[in-house]
């Protein structure tokens, strides 16, 4: 059984005991998250929401908060003496799916 869920505008495939890398959540590690924005539930039959499945819920536990590796953003225009360098590290949370209720 799996479900398609939406967290902060992004969609993820959630299966029981799976680890998901999602955008940073404002919760302490070890706390429980209930996600009501379930787009699809697959079990004996597939249920598709309009836009969300009524009564479906996914519970997860926040495992940890981490930061991704740094990426370099470099802008350059030839013959104009224009160069800009910036770096970015995205923060994310690791969540573990505990249960899918449909």
Domain positions in the chain are 2-101
* 65-97 per-position pLDDT tens digit: 999 999 999 999 999 999 999 999 999 999 999
Prior bond to 37 cis, omega within 30?
A: no
5 token code pair: 């869920």
Q: Residue 27 in 3-state DSSP?
A: coil
Number of H helices, E strands in the chain: 0, 10
Alpha carbon distance 60, 19 (integer Å) = 9
53 token code pair: 């499945």
Q: Is the pTM of this model over 0.75?
A: yes
């Amino acid at each position: 059984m799996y479900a398609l869920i939406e967290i902060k505008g992004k969609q993820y495939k959630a299966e029981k005991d799976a680890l998901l890398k999602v955008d940073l959540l404002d919760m302490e590690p070890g706390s429980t998250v209930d996600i009501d924005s379930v787009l699809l539930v697959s079990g004996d039959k597939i249920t598709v929401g309009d836009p969300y499945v009524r009564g479906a819920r996914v519970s997860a536990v926040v495992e940890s908060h981490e930061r991704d590796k740094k990426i370099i953003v470099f802008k350059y225009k030839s013959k104009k003496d224009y160069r800009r360098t910036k770096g970015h590290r995205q923060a994310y949370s690791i969540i573990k799916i505990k249960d899918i209720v449909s």
